[in-house]
Structure 1
Amino acid sequence: MNIDLTRRSFLRLAGAGVAATSLGAMGFGEAEAAEAAHVRAFKLTTTTEARNTCTYCSVACGIIMYSKGDVNAGEKADLIHIEGDADHPTNRGTLCPKGAALKDFVKSESRLTRPRYRAAGASEFQDISWDDALDKIARALKDDRDANLLQVNEAGVPVNRWTTTGFLAASATTNETAWLTYKTVRSMGIVGFDNQARV
């Protein structure tokens, strides 16, 4: 049998063969269609998604945390995955090695989850409640401010200066939180005020 094939019809036939092979390779064949029907569900579909800020340096990268367990129903949430937030303007979905390892930081056995207090002269720390910790901090601040607030300087000019207590702010916050922190600290008269980004 003799096939009369022109150059044009050869190119047409070769192009059709390439197209058919490519479609099969992209998953349009019978075997691929049957296999696609048995693909397991995406592992994060049944999780709760929460956006937050990375706790490390002062860059304040956005992160997305995925956890299982309904906190509203009283269940303990189990963090299973952390990734960069692609919608965040600072990092646009990328994370440094420390940020990428945040899940290990959260699940670390040595991570403190409640306040601890060491009484004067004691060698061991003891766990205390958050209310007790905040009461101790507030009492220490009030006592120190009452004893050391400078209301009038040497020239007789009214001032609001408290130089015996310092304040270190977190840098992984929003502009609004940073503004509120600054106003609160300055209104108390604290002079020694710095930010984590400079440490």
Structure 2
Amino acid sequence: MGARTWISSWPVYRQLTGDDPLGRGRAARSRDTERLRARTATADRVVKSVCPYCAVGCGQDVYVQDGKVTQIEGDRDSPVSRGRLCPKGSASLQLTTGPAREHRVRYRRPYGTDWEDLDLDTAMDMIADRVIAARREGWQWEQQGLRTRRTLRFASLGGATLDNEENYLIKKLFTALGAVQIENQARI
């Protein structure tokens, strides 16, 4: 590479001699930068979604390529967030692709120190058995002479990642099971 070619590759040289005197456009770009493409440019489709972290309900554009999420950005059409996301919402891509995301059922036995992997059917059977046992052991037909037909052995606390419709169905399930301690934080 000649000296002239080498000097002309400097961003400052391009800034002073080119049509970008403030160095905000082409003058600041290297050859490597010119080859980069946004993850959003290669997406097959864009899916509208809502951020799962809090009760604000910021809109998100989820970019999908070959069935996999490649980028998540704020939805400019959202009247709630107008294209903006907080740091947690901006990092929500990690929910789908992060290396810390578990894709299996993990279980630690009472007083145990190690986690073990369970298949989903076994885990669901364990949960069902425990709900049935708690309901059977703690069922109250009446309290102080009043008919109650309830159990106080389990409760439901839904978070902001559940919308009102999901919490409605959870409320129906837990009410049918006899639980009375049912609360959620959904505001979406």
TM-score under structure 1 length normalisation: 0.64
* 1:163 maps to which of 152, 161, 181: 152
* Structure of greater Rg: 1
Measure how far apart 1:105 and its partner are: 4.3
Report the identity percentage: 30
* 2:117 maps to which of 113, 127, 138: 127
Measure how far apart 1:59 and its partner are: 2.1
| Aligned 8 A contact 1:62 1:91 in 2 | yes
Aligned to 2:93: 103
- Distance, in Å, in 1 between the alignment partners of 2:161 and 2:126 is 25
Query: Which stretch has the larger CA shift, 177-186 or 132-141?
Result: 177-186
Q: Structure 1's 196 and 125: CA in aligned 2 closer, same or farther, altered over 3 A?
A: farther
Measure how far apart 1:82 and its partner are: 0.5
Measure how far apart 1:43 and its partner are: 5.0
* Residues 100-126 of structure 1: CA deviation (Å, up to 9, x unaligned): 111234433222222211123431111
Aligned to 1:44: 40
Kindly indicate whether residue 107 of structure 2 is the aligned counterpart of residue 117 of structure 1.
Answer: yes
* 1:143 maps to which of 133, 144, 148: 133
Aligned to 2:176: 187
Aligned to 1:91: 81
Measure how far apart 1:45 and its partner are: 4.4
Measure how far apart 1:49 and its partner are: 2.4
| Aligned 8 A contact 1:53 1:172 in 2 | no
Q: Structure 1's 180 and 105: CA in aligned 2 closer, same or farther, altered over 3 A?
A: closer
* Residues 20-48 of structure 1: CA deviation (Å, up to 9, x unaligned): xxxxx9xxxxxxxxxxxxxx987534423
- Distance, in Å, in 1 between the alignment partners of 2:154 and 2:112 is 24
Q: Structure 1's 88 and 180: CA in aligned 2 closer, same or farther, altered over 3 A?
A: farther
Aligned to 1:177: 166
TM-score under structure 2 length normalisation: 0.68
- Distance, in Å, in 1 between the alignment partners of 2:63 and 2:173 is 34
RMSD over aligned CA atoms reads 2.8
Unaligned stretches of 5+ in structure 1? 1-24, 26-39, 71-76
- Distance, in Å, in 2 between the alignment partners of 1:160 and 1:185 is 13
| Aligned 8 A contact 2:63 2:71 in 1 | yes
Q: Which amino acid aligns with 1:113?
A: H
Unaligned stretches of 5+ in structure 2? 1-18, 20-35
| Aligned 8 A contact 1:60 1:172 in 2 | no
Aligned to 2:23: none
Q: When you count helix as a share of all residues, which structure comes out higher?
A: 1
- Distance, in Å, in 2 between the alignment partners of 1:177 and 1:123 is 34
* Residues 143-192 of structure 1: CA deviation (Å, up to 9, x unaligned): 1101111122221x321221111211132333322222222222322122
